A and B are shown apart, each in its own frame.
Chain A
Amino acid sequence: MVLGIPPGLFLIAGALLVPLFRGRWRQMYMLFLPLAGLWCLVDGQSGTFFAFTFMEYEIVPVRVDPLSLIFGYIFHIAAALSVVYAWHNDDIVEQMAGLAYAGSGIGAVFAGDLITLFVYWEAMAVTSVFLIWARRTEASYAAGMRYLIIQVGSGVLLLSGAILMAHETGSIAFEKMTLGSLATWLILIAFGIKCAFPFMHNWLQDSYPEATVTGTVFLSAFTTKCAVYALARGFPGEELLIYVGAAMTAFPIFYAVIENDLRRVLAYSLNNQLGFMVVGVGIGTTLAINGAAAHAFAHILYKALLFMSMGAVLYRVGTVKGSELGGLYKSMPFTTVFCIIGAASISAFPLFSGFIAKSLTLSAVAHEGYLAIWMILLFASAGVFHHSGIKIPYFAFFAHDSGKRCKEAPLNMLIAMGITAFMCIAIGVYSPWLYSLLPYPVEYQPYTPSHVIGQYQLLMFSALAFAVLMRFKIYPPELKSVNLDFDITYRKWLPAIYRGMINLTRDGWQSILEDLRRGVQRVVAYMFRHHGPEGILARTWPTGSMALWVAVLLGGILLLYYV
């Protein structure tokens, strides 16, 4: 704990003081926050802290154990790297939102109960949307709105689940759950939304590419990995997750191959990476949970590195559309090298971080004998290399020279990319370091001839496929386009259905009104016929007819009186 403040809350509180600093001091202060937070976690004692009882329920704001620690470490590291990457940017909205968002993510992984988790869960949604809106385009406003509705919706489901859970079991502790009751299903769906399960995934590809250059780097680290942590905590060994995760690894790569916006390609590939982690959680053995945690750790770094390099391209060139780019290695040699290191890491080349992380999950799947799942993951691994490993660097920096010439990325971006790239390699080369941080003891050797040569074969033949398809011009060219995904349901179909219903009800209401009007007109016409100037009852003077009717009435009363 820094100054006795819980981790996460320290960054959120610190973010509020950002406006007090100017210039270099602000840059230093913003870097100080995550580094101080990390420093205080390093000798983190396991246990629960700040616990109190509220309305008979035990609230545990901080629970430190090996599983929450590894996510806590990497979240602080990611925050520090994102801050350095964003040093050139003095947009106060982004600076405060970024730090508060990182703090919320950190708070969530240390939450010991569902209510605390819910609070941080929603804080993540509300703070992160400003990183999208800070782009200040109409597109980012609309995408941010859709993002916010979905993210807050996830929080509402989580809260509903937590309340039902409290009602059923009398406890709101955030521990392993067994899927069955409505409460657990609601909680799983809440996690699933943030983890971008199939059909709940589109907020990710929709919003991340619309965020700012620096905002996307922040966004790529926290929300989805926080969801992976929540699944690993709440639903380890839940078999359903194996199949959900396998689907997540496979379907986004088809989109990634044909997508033109390179930051959106990375968003699809992020979705695919989450699939590996979800499979690991679903397998649930100690090796598999280690695999999911290691993958999350390594993934945050290389995915941030890839988003940083594409952000640098967007910053300098003004676009990251594959159809507009090419030949940028001439202008941005350092960014090119860093991007290739990120690409090699995500592709799991031996000696890069992805390799020592993904091997754990693949081995865990194989140990449990899931052949079909293993084949899908292998296919997805080849696919990752194909679209993230080759396509991203190839279309941005090589391919057909677009003739675009620009400056190299700003120094602070290069520093952030350099440190991240160094970490990607260091983790891959010296595997015991990452393995020592994992939740369970590791007895695993990633560098066996069998693993290494198998992996090299898989990767080189994928590269060969790319080379051959390019050579024979079979590879689909980058085209300016939008590819339909599940978001068509809420961006086109639901609004169309809504408008259709509105039109239908409006037409219906109008015909009802017309019918009513016609009825009234008929009554009026009828009245007019009888009472109008030419009507049968208007032939005598009204006083005369009144005298007649009064006489009839009096006669009637007289009769009744005698009866």
Chain B
Amino acid sequence: MTDQTPHTPDNSGRKYWLDNPKNVDKVYWSVIVVSVLLFFADALYDKHPEFGIEKVFGFYGIYGFVACVGLVLAAKGLRLLLMRGENYYDDKTKGDS
């Protein structure tokens, strides 16, 4: 079914760009910079709102951020209620997928 190659640790020593934590920081900060730029881009064009709430400056950005933080925190809370061991239904009924 699957054609696995042996999982050997990478001994080639090849370094990738993202292996350097400093570059991960660069990605992080560029997300912030782009977000801020997009937020203020709201001043540059005429909106055609269908609903009043869309007129709020940076509405989509604020809503997206709040929605996602809320989503993750709520889902994290749901884990307390819903999470069970991997073999909850039966030792055999979960494949290794």
Contact = CB atoms under 8 A, between A and B. Distances in A.
Given A143-B93, A461-B65, A366 B60 contact: no
B2 to A, nearest CB: 5
Nearest to B12: A405
A382 B35 contact: no
In this complex, the interface size class of chain B, counting residues with CB under 8 Å from chain A, is 35 or more
A492 B89 contact: yes
Interface in B49-72: 50-51, 53-54, 58-65, 67-69, 71-72
Interface in A369-409: 369, 371, 374-375, 378-379, 382-383, 386, 398, 401, 403-407
A465 B65 contact: yes
Given A254-B74, A316-B4, A378 B51 contact: no
B18 to A, nearest CB: 7
A317 interface: yes
B13 to A, nearest CB: 12
B60 A209 contact: no
Contact of A382 (B38, B63, B74, B82): B63
In this complex, the interface size class of chain A, counting residues with CB under 8 Å from chain B, is 35 or more
Interface stretch (A50-58, A147-155, A474-482): A474-482
Interface string B1-19: 1111101111000101011
Given A257-B71, A378-B63, A469-B72, A484 B97 contact: no
A479 B10 contact: no
Contact of A403 (B9, B58, B67, B76): B9
Nearest to A390: B68
Contact of B68 (A137, A139, A382): A382
Contacts of A466: 68, 72
Contacts of A448: 48
A330 B13 CA distance: 12
Contact of B46 (A135, A142, A209, A450): A450
Contacts of A329: 16, 18
Nearest to B79: A258
B84 A484 contact: yes
A471 B72 CA distance: 14
B62 to A, nearest CB: 7
Contacts of B48: 448, 450
A24 interface: no
A329 B14 CA distance: 13
Contact of B85 (A254, A455, A481): A481
Contacts of B54: 454
Nearest to B68: A465
A213 B5 contact: no
A250 B73 CA distance: 15
B92 interface: yes
Contact of A319 (B14, B75, B97): B97
Interface of B: 1-5, 7-10, 14, 16, 18-19, 28, 31-32, 34-35, 38-39, 41-42, 44-48, 50-51, 53-54, 58-65, 67-69, 71-76, 78-79, 81-90, 92-97
15 contacts: A139-B93, A209-B97, A319-B96, A319-B97, A363-B50, A386-B72, A398-B18, A403-B10, A406-B4, A450-B45, A457-B39, A458-B61, A462-B64, A465-B72, A482-B85
